[in-house]
Amino acid sequence: MGMTIAEKIIAAAAGVSEVKPGDIHTVELDRLMSNDGTTHLTIDMYNKLKNPHIADVDKLVWIVDHNVPCDSVKTAASHKKMRDFAKKNGIKFYEGEGVCHQVMMEKHVTSGELIFGADSHTCAYGAVGAFGTGVGCTDYLYAMVTGHSWLLVPETLRFNLTGKLQEGVYARDLILTIIGKIGANGANYMAMEFGGEGLHTLNMSDRISICNLCVEAGAKTALMEVDDIALDYLKEHGREPKHVFKSDDDANYAKVYDIDLSTIKPIVAKPHFVDSVVDAKECVGTHIDEAFLGSCNNGRIEDLRAGAQIIKGKKVNPMVRFLVVPASADVYRQALDEGIIDTFMEAGAIVMNPNCSVCWGSCQGVIGENEVLISTGTRNFKGRAGHKDSFVYLASAATVTASAIKGEIATADMV
């Protein structure tokens, strides 16, 4: 029986020739990423182990991105614990460099790897054909100490992409459309695999955006076929692929979806569920208090360019706070070079340092009671961006920027 990409990566990591969905295997992990959301708890547990040690410190990457720079005395204590432990043990450590997944994509991940990340959006790594999956800190700790873990082989959903996105439609609209179609648990426990000729029309930023959001359909991981675009990306970033796996022709899929990219339209996900998606036009006119352009999902240079192109020469609505947050320091510098930061600042946007920002509702830009945010972030759960009685709409960088100008939800063609 043929295997999917997810099955091939697990088989290689388990050292067996074949695996099938439902099997549980012990797998060697290539990389272990953890951020400041949970690392302080991991360290507390580590210190209580009978025999604390690290199997291979070179596999560990720790990134402070959720609350950076630090927002409170309590956070400072948690950060200090993480920073001190990393230094003492020689763990690769980043602080202020960017959102963890963007930093991982820029500096570490390669094709064919199996990666645990203590963050649900670790599935982003599928953009270069790596099996990334989100875990909690106990799982992380176990893998950090032993170098391996247990993994249940997921079934795979296959998405065959054809055609090309229309002008003004973005990868984010595509993945929100898919999540709306299959539902918030439509891929629960499963891998989502993307391929087909339409994939070649999507750049790396698009691919990261798509894979990153697959967890919002419950997916264990997301995987894209590795083509020249992915290989060029790795090469530009100084990395070689570990393995390049392709699904076999007779691989077994739980379900196959055919998606014509040219049929996708600008989409908005309404509060409080990522799968509550509607045509963006249906939300036009909805009052907003804040707009956010950033996050591991949509804070790359391509997203900033899309926003800058729309806002150049225009002004942010005086009743709106427009937060622009590059996903990494590299993205920030690139945006500076291209004059994009100037464009946003001239328009009246608030440009922040690279971090998770209001996407996770505990750092900067938190919204108050009954306030409304339109966001390129990952989630619109109740209270996700601040007060429990507040509202988050998710949309593309273009729709978010157009809305920031209008002071209400608007699409790019309206400004």
Applying CB under 8 A, which residues contact another protein? Answer: 24, 36-38, 40-41, 44-45, 49-51, 66-67, 72, 74-75, 77-78, 117-120, 122, 134-139, 141-142, 145-146, 150, 152, 184-185, 188-189, 215, 218, 220, 273, 360-362, 366, 379, 381-384, 388
**Euclidean distance between the first and the last CA atom of the chain, given in angstroms as a whole number:** 54
Q: 106 or 275, CB closer to another protein?
A: 275
CB of 47 to another protein, least distance (A): 12
Q: 357 or 396, CB closer to another protein?
A: 357
Q: 83 or 243, CB closer to another protein?
A: 83
d(CA 20, CA 246): 16
Residues 325/294, Cβ–Cβ less than 8 Å: yes
- Residue 375: phi and psi, rounded to 5, are -140, 145
Q: 126 or 307, CB closer to another protein?
A: 126
Q: 117 or 326, CB closer to another protein?
A: 117
Gyration radius of the chain's alpha carbons: 20
CB of 141 to another protein, least distance (A): 7
Q: Which helix (H) or strand (E) holds 394?
A: strand 391-394
The 8-class DSSP code of residue 121 comes to: G
Specify which residues 392 forms β-bridges with.
373
Q: 136 or 285, CB closer to another protein?
A: 136
Cα 72 from chain centre? 26
Q: Is 252 helix (H, G, I), strand (E, B) or coil?
A: coil
CA distances from 394 to 7, 23, 194, 378 (A): 32, 36, 22, 8
CA distances from 391 to 298, 319, 367, 406, 408 (A): 19, 17, 9, 18, 13
Look up residue 398 and give its amino acid.
A
Conformational region of residue 365, where left means phi above 0, alpha means psi within -120 to 50, and beta covers everything else? left
d(CA 181, CA 263): 14
CB of 139 to another protein, least distance (A): 6
CB of 86 to another protein, least distance (A): 16
CB of 128 to another protein, least distance (A): 21
CB of 215 to another protein, least distance (A): 8
Q: 139 or 227, CB closer to another protein?
A: 139
CB of 7 to another protein, least distance (A): 17
Q: Is 358 helix (H, G, I), strand (E, B) or coil?
A: helix
d(CA 314, CA 393): 23
CB of 395 to another protein, least distance (A): 19
CB of 236 to another protein, least distance (A): 29
Q: 170 or 360, CB closer to another protein?
A: 360
Query: Angle, to 10 degrees, between the axis of helix 73-89 and the axis of helix 39-47?
Result: 60
Q: 79 or 107, CB closer to another protein?
A: 79
Q: 151 or 251, CB closer to another protein?
A: 151
Q: Is the dihedral of CA 167, 170, 171, 176 positive or negative?
A: negative
Dihedral angle, C-alpha 354, 358, 364, 366, nearest 10 °:
170
Q: 41 or 414, CB closer to another protein?
A: 41
- The residues, any chain, with a CB within 8 Å of residue 163's CB and separated by 6 or more, are 198, 201, 260, 261, 262, 263
